[in-house]
Structure 1
Amino acid sequence: MKPQDILAEKTSLWIFGYGSLVWKPDFKFKRSKVGYIQGYKRRFWHGDNFHRGNNEMPGRVVTLVEDDDACTWGVAYEVTGSQVEESLKYLNVREAVLGGYVTRAVEFTARGAAMTPLMTSPRCWRCAEEIAMQIAVSHGKTGHNIEYLLRLADFMRRHCPGVEDAHLFSIEAATLALVPYLLASAPAL
């Protein structure tokens, strides 16, 4: 679905963020809610040579992969009136042009008192180590790739307690395990 198709239909719209949008939406919104979408899993499989990496050393950012048995937690932001057009224009550049993402309509479920913890993926330590090494050494125009990873993990712990995102947390652990080695091999200042 293209942003202009959404604009033609809506005076109010919810925008779901599952990566950096959870801590840095950078657009005006009326309100926000923490919750999840079904049928997708979050993965650090998207190479990024702008925001968190460069052409010589692409970083890793999250993308959504369809999986009927999975869910992804994040934040939905309600935009209304002129915010709809403004936010979609901004996100088209940030996420589509610079990020390579597409826009889709999905069903969002806000966090509620009756929610039960959900496991989103099995652990894959070897995969985590490979991704962690790339994250540990990459940086782009909006910062170091480690910052992106740690902010996302912090969001999950603070706003989605009891939800285990094994993919995210295993990459975080593998990246943090690399830090002492990276510091030891860094040139002295």
Structure 2
Amino acid sequence: MKPQDILKEKSSLWVFGYGSLVWKPGFAHRGRKIGYIKGYKRRFWHGDDFYRGDKENPGRVVTLVEDQEACTWGVAYEVTDSQVEECLQYLNMREVVLGGYIIETVEFIPKEKGQCPLLALVYIATSDNPIYLGPASDLQIAAQIAICSGNTGHNIEYLVRLAEFMRLHCPEVEDEHLFSIEAAALNILPVCGEIKPPDQKSPLPGTV
């Protein structure tokens, strides 16, 4: 699916974010909803050689992996009228050109009771992407995250900010993959003298 094809059909749409989009969408939007999608699990299996890493040391960022028993929590943003074109152009550069993600359509289920499911666009990096890294142990992923940084900052910032979002907005959800990697990475940080845990009072830059 290409942005120009979406524009032909939509004067408004929803975009689902499950990584850095949950705290830094980077585009104007009319509203947002916390919620989840079914059939996918979030995994730190995608490489990032621009935002949170470089060509020699790619960072690790999240993508979605199909799993019929799983669900992934995040934020859906509503964009309308002129926001649609601006949003899609921005995300095409951020997610597709620089991130290697493709666009899919999913059913988003709002957390707030009484609200109907809605269709949303989502960006997913698949295994045929040249910078896709694939599965690894939590410790291996944490060790990679602990040493990588890119144009928008350290990879650990991405990890910590995502975990903070889940604790704040989805406290009832136990994201074992995310929290295990976070714990392992924060344990590794004191060993790396040049790296310090991010100041959680300061705004952290986003990435793909």
Q: How does 1:4-153 map to 2 (within 5 A)?
A: 4-113=4-113, 127-153=137-163
Show CA shifts across 1:2-52 (max 9, x none).
Answer: 222211111110000000000000000000000001111100000100000
SS in 1 for 2:26: coil
Per the alignment, residue 171 of structure 1 pairs with: 181
Please state whether the residue corresponding to 2:102 is helix, strand or coil: coil
Q: Deviation digits for residues 44-82 of structure 1, max 9, x if unmatched?
A: 000100000001111000001111111100000000001
Please report the RMSD computed on the Cα atoms of aligned residues, expressed in angstroms: 1.4
Residue 123 of structure 1 aligns with which residue?
none
Amino acid at match of 2:185: T
- Which residue does 1:120 correspond to in 2? none
Task: Name the one with the larger helix percent.
Answer: 1
Secondary structure at the aligned position of 2:104 is classed as coil
Structure 2 length as normaliser, TM-score? 0.81
Which residue of 2 is the match for residue 154 of structure 1?
Answer: 164
Deviation at 1:112, TM superposition (A): 2.6
Q: Equivalent residue for 2:122?
A: none
* Cα-to-partner distance string for 1:112-146 (whole Å, 9 max, x where unaligned): 359xxxxxxxxxxx711000000000000011000
Count of matched residue pairs: 174
Separation of aligned partners in 2, 1:179 and 1:153? 16
Q: Specify the SS of the correspondent of 1:90.
A: helix
C-alpha distance in 2 between matches for 1:57 and 1:16: 28
Identify unmatched segments of 5+ residues in structure 1.
115-125
SS in 2 for 1:162: coil
CA distance, structure 2, for counterparts of residue 12 and residue 150 of structure 1: 32
Unaligned runs of 5+ in 2: 115-135, 196-208
Q: Measure, in 2, the Cα distance between the counterparts of 1:177 and 1:161.
A: 22
Q: What is the TM-score when the length of structure 1 is the normalising length?
A: 0.89
Partner of 1:3: 3
1-structure distance, mates of 2:171, 2:29? 24
For residue 107 of structure 1, give the secondary structure of its aligned residue in structure 2: strand
